[in-house]
Chains A and B, each alone.
Chain A
Amino acid sequence: MSEVLIEGVSKRFGRTEVIHGIDLRIKEGELTVLLGPSGCGKSTLLRMIAGLEDISEGVIRIGGEEVNDLEPVERGCAMVFQNYALYPHQTVRRNMAFPLKMARLPRAEIARRVAATAKLLQLEELLDRLPRDLSGGQRQRVAMGRAMIREPKIFLFDEPLSNLDAELRVRMRLEISRLQRELLATMVFVTHDQVEAMTLAHRIVIMRAGLIEQVGTPLEVYRRPANRFVAGFIGSPAMNFIDVREVRADATGSQLTLGDGSTLVAGALPAETASVGIRPEHIRIGLAERASLSFAAGQHRSIGAEHLGDRSYRYLSLPFGELTMLAPEEQVIDETEPLAISFDPARLHCFAHDGRRLERAAA
């Protein structure tokens, strides 16, 4: 049993509280990602689970047992640090053997396990090298190996990939996924990179300023962000937000008055909608969809583009604000011509004044 239960946990450094009474359940056998902007308290939470930081308030249970006063090693957690924390003067072999040596395992057993783990991670060739003679990816794998070798109940990762280049990061992501599946391990993975979170996680915990904003599967947090913060944080480029001055309901649906006074007709929306959000990939050029906005020549201006190959993100300046959209590469947007954009109203996200998500009545 390696479920982690976090109940009303707070953390104070001196007088500043950085975690404000969090409740969270980390399911056994799942890879849970703690995601949030830098400084929001992800590492602190992880380190409290690990036992490297005291818990100021609340209770953490692992497998049902309260671990607040247990030493790290007694909690059955292993940790992979951002800088790998390999012991610089020990070979790969000795680095990996270290936890077992601390556990006073017999030599033969240690050798057997090191060999097995090295095989699993394809480290056999490197066993007698020193960390400084390894590449970044190799060091990363050694760190993983050292974490795995004790067969811990829970793996804790603190931004383990952020020191790698983009290509390697993708590869290691896959590797971690594979290991997770093979070992059926419970993993907690801290990152501030939402792509990493989306691709790796079974469940994402989105944090902000010491609080949890939303917990859900990657698709849940993408499709139904719990608030404007999550909506803006998940997805790249970020969701477009359009301020709404007024919502008028009539027979056909709702008519929204935007910041510049123009109007937009969409399906039935909650009356207290203060802003709507639409992802760049859900906007089309032309009047193909049900909700649409038209701009005369000179009313719209292009402020930049990001080319992905066959498609590109276009950054537009419109009367009610800026807008990002995904368009086919060959699509030309001419400032001297009128422009129309449209989208499916079902793709609209509605948010109240306080940023809370508003659910629409079923259409």
Chain B
Amino acid sequence: MKRHQLVLVGLLGLYCLITLAPFYALVVRAFTPTVQSTEFHLWLPDRRPLSMNARLGDLATIYSIDARAFRQEMGIKGYVNPQLTLAQLAETYELEPERIRAWLEPRVQYNGVLSVMEAGFLRSLLATIFVTGVSVGVGGLLGIMTGSALAGFRRPWHLFTYNLYMLNMIIPPMMVILPQYLIMTKVLGLDDNYLSVILIHIKGGALSTMVFTSYIATIPKELRESVQMDGGRHYHYFFYVLLPLMGTPFAVFASIAMPWMWNDLLHPLVFLSPAKYTLPAFVAAIGGTYTTNYEAIFSGLMLSLIPILLIYLVFQKMFVRSAVAGAVKG
């Protein structure tokens, strides 16, 4: 290899490292005890073993341990003072200390991951996939329809409509959250319903309109005329010709919109109840006011990144195709 090639490879390697470093740091932090979370760790730090002097309430507060589940697991009926230490609990309720330890130890050892799992991560993940999937799918379809109507700006009102859509982009979501909330709950009766978040995601999307309008404008009008000559109606054109051509712009749209919808924090927080939170709201709700289980938060972040990474890997071919589509003319 020549020297400049070596330098190039070196620089690329460095770039990869810089790009991947945050992911690595996130994984490490997801397993770093909260007490050590203010220091920077290159590798998982050691953790103190569970002490029988720990109080149940403190464990609940610091490690987000579900005291209710603990009581059920230990077969304790009725109210338990959370200020009791584990040793006191064992004595009062005549429990084997080992049994207590066996149940609690892993929850402390892998606190972050287990807390978010027990707090309902999978349910939240399903909800997120549902909301994001429907939003991307329906939003994309609506964008294609809008785009096929507006492409080329053949009438003056087309441009006007397009600009209206674009205006959407400059309105901060926080500014319209109140009227939106009122419309969703009072007019549409969608309080605590995933549809409300989906509606917000797909309403007058500036991005989808922009992507599909500009892409559809590059499709020769002869294709539509040809369908017309062949005796097809507009919907034939839409389903047989236009839709199959939308893979590329859809990949562009999805790859930009999907992370945004996936990571939307504000709307699920406002429109949904905690039991239905999507992932970002779910992770945000892990935090406290004076104490924060950082380990759980970082675990939540890490776990909520994995599915979207998987989605990218699965659909990679589509995204790559969208990137090279400009180079090879069909």
* A residues adjacent to B (C-beta < 8 A): 50-52, 71-73, 77-79, 81-83, 85, 87-90, 98-99, 102-103, 131-132, 146, 150
Contacts and interface: CB of A to CB of B under 8 A. Distances in A.
B10 to A, nearest CB: 39
A81 B244 contact: no
A77 B229 contact: yes
A98 B244 CA distance: 15
A132 B329 CA distance: 8
A7 to B, nearest CB: 23
Nearest to A146: B230
Contacts of A146: 230
Contact of B228 (A52, A83, A87, A88): A52
B98 interface: no
Contacts of B73: none
Contact of A85 (B226, B240, B330): B226
Given A89-B244, A98-B240, A99-B230, 10 more contacts: A50-B229, A72-B228, A81-B222, A81-B225, A88-B330, A99-B231, A102-B227, A102-B232, A102-B236, A132-B329
B245 A72 contact: no
Contacts of B232: 98, 102
B231 A73 contact: yes
A85 B225 contact: yes
A2 to B, nearest CB: 16
Interface string B216-247: 00001011011111111000100011001100
B330 A73 contact: no
Nearest to B328: A132
A77 B231 CA distance: 10
A77 B230 CA distance: 9
B220 to A, nearest CB: 6
Contacts of B225: 52, 79, 81, 85
Interface string B122-162: 00000000000000000000000000000000000000000
A89 B245 contact: yes
Nearest to B329: A132
Contact of B230 (A51, A73, A132): A73
A114 to B, nearest CB: 14
Interface residues of B, number: 18
A103 B231 contact: yes
Given A73-B231, A102-B231, A87 B240 contact: yes
Given A83-B222, A85-B222, A89-B244, A132 B228 contact: no
A73 B229 contact: yes
Contact of A79 (B229, B236, B244): B229
Contact of A102 (B220, B230, B329): B230
Contacts of B245: 88-89
A150 B232 CA distance: 13
Nearest to A131: B330
Contacts, number: 61
27 contacts: A50-B229, A51-B228, A52-B225, A52-B229, A72-B228, A73-B231, A77-B229, A79-B225, A79-B226, A81-B222, A81-B226, A85-B220, A85-B222, A85-B225, A87-B223, A88-B330, A90-B244, A98-B230, A98-B232, A98-B240, A99-B231, A102-B231, A102-B232, A103-B231, A131-B330, A132-B330, A150-B230
Contacts of B329: 132
A133 to B, nearest CB: 10
B254 to A, nearest CB: 19
Given A81-B222, A102-B236, A132-B330, A87 B241 contact: yes
A86 to B, nearest CB: 8
Contacts of A79: 225-226, 229
B247 to A, nearest CB: 9
8 nearest CB pairs, A to B: A73-B231, A85-B222, A99-B230, A89-B244, A102-B231, A85-B226, A81-B222, A88-B330
B242 to A, nearest CB: 10
Contacts of B231: 71-73, 99, 102-103, 150
A85 B237 CA distance: 12
Nearest to A47: B225
Contacts of B226: 79, 81, 85, 87
Nearest to B220: A83
Contacts of B229: 50, 52, 72-73, 77-79, 99
Nearest to A84: B222
A277 to B, nearest CB: 39
Nearest to A149: B230
Contact of B223 (A73, A85, A102, A150): A85
B179 to A, nearest CB: 40
Nearest to B232: A102
A103 B231 CA distance: 7
Contacts of A88: 244-245, 330
A81 B226 CA distance: 8
A90 B330 CA distance: 12
A303 to B, nearest CB: 41
Contacts of A131: 330
Contacts of B227: 98, 102
A50 B227 CA distance: 13
A164 to B, nearest CB: 16
Contacts of A90: 240, 244
A308 to B, nearest CB: 36
Of A83, A85, A89, A98, most buried by chain B (CB within 10 Å of CB) is: A85
Contacts of B240: 87, 90, 98
Contacts of B236: 102
Nearest to A156: B229
Contacts of A98: 227, 230, 232, 240
A298 B330 CA distance: 59
Contacts of A81: 222, 225-226
Contacts of A99: 229-231
A89 B226 CA distance: 14
Contacts of B241: 87, 89
Contacts of B230: 73, 98-99, 102, 146, 150
Contacts of B223: 85, 87
B217 to A, nearest CB: 15
